[in-house]
Amino acid sequence: MKWHPFVTGREYPVSQIIEVLRKDIESGRLGFVHEKMQLLELYEPHRSEHAVFTPFGGSWGGTPLNPNTWKKQDGGDLIPGYRQPRKRKPFSKKLRIEVIAKTNGHCYSCGQKFNTPSEVWIEHIIAFSIGGSDTIENLLPGCRICNYTRQNFTPNQIQRILSVGSVLVREMDKATNLGSDILTFLRAEDTRRRSRRRHESYGFLVFEAERTDA
């Protein structure tokens, strides 16, 4: 079930969008969204009072956030209570090599061996959005599939999924093709995600402000 009331392609008053996001912040729903949502030109009172909802993948999840979007032109807070996330710096080549070496060139979660640097996703043990550092002690190398499938789960939930999944995989392999079908599906999804990224200059777009003539 979607946790937002918006319909793709339909215009909504900016005030309504702000109210929904404010409630989500108060309820803690945006705890992991700070690094995953990009809102472009959401609030431009001199141009438009409406915005068009254009989600990626049918929801707001899985998109990077531009903190500047949440500020009015006069510098005031657009959404009370919103905490601007810390600025991110790209990992240096030296740090990436050191992180990959921690697992001898394998995904820390599934054990897959990395064949090229582009296959590696550097992940935080303690999430950056809640204060985790970019030091090597807090970083591990993961593959794309593990990165996407674990992003909405806590470490305890991941442990349970792995413990139960290890049994289920053996059972599925005995009598069905479900295991291989799931893996094929995940690989196809990964390919589609990478293809979409190449065609979106700003990553994933969630809102596009309606431009109107002055």
Helix axis angle, 155-175 to 178-198, nearest 10°: 130
CATH topology of domain 89-152: DNA Binding (I), subunit A (1.10.30)
Q: Quick one: pLDDT band at residue 37, thresholds 50, 70, 90? A: very low
* pLDDT of res. 144: 80
Residue 26 pLDDT > 50: yes
CA 150 from chain centre, in angstroms, equals: 11
Residue 59's nearest CA partner among 126, 170, 151 is 151
Q: What are phi and psi of 51, to 5 degrees?
A: -140, 150
What is the arithmetic mean of pLDDT over 50-71? Answer: 37
Least confident of 18-32, 87-101, 117-131: 18-32
Return the higher-pLDDT residue of 167 and 40.
Answer: 167
Percent of the chain with pLDDT over 70: 39
Residue 59: DSSP 8-state: B
| Contact (CB, 8 A) for 204 and 63 | yes
Residue 130 pLDDT > 50: yes
DSSP element (H, E) containing 53: strand 50-53
* pLDDT of res. 159: 72
Q: Which residue has the tokens 């915005």?
A: 51
Please give the full DSSP string across 124-151, using - where no structure is assigned.
ESS-GGGT---SGGGEEEE-HHHHHHHT
Q: Report the alpha-carbon distance of residue 101 to residue 94 in Å, rounded.
A: 11
Q: In this structure, which amino acid lies at residue 97?
A: I
Residue ranges per structural domain of the chain: 11-86+202-209, 89-152
Q: What are phi and psi of 59, to 5 degrees?
A: -155, 180
Percent of the chain with pLDDT over 90: 7
Q: Quick one: pLDDT band at residue 87, thresholds 50, 70, 90? A: low
Return the higher-pLDDT residue of 29 and 134.
Answer: 134
Please give the full DSSP string across 60-110, using - where no structure is assigned.
S-S----GGGGB-TTS-BSSTTPPPPPPP-PPPHHHHHHHHHTTTSB-TTT
Residue 63 pLDDT > 80: no
Q: Report the alpha-carbon distance of residue 214 to residue 212 in Å, rounded.
A: 6
Pairing status of strand 139-142 against strand 121-124: antiparallel
* pLDDT of res. 99: 92
* pLDDT of res. 15: 60
* pLDDT of res. 102: 92
Locate 53 and state its tokens.
């909802």
What is the arithmetic mean of pLDDT over 47-72? Answer: 37
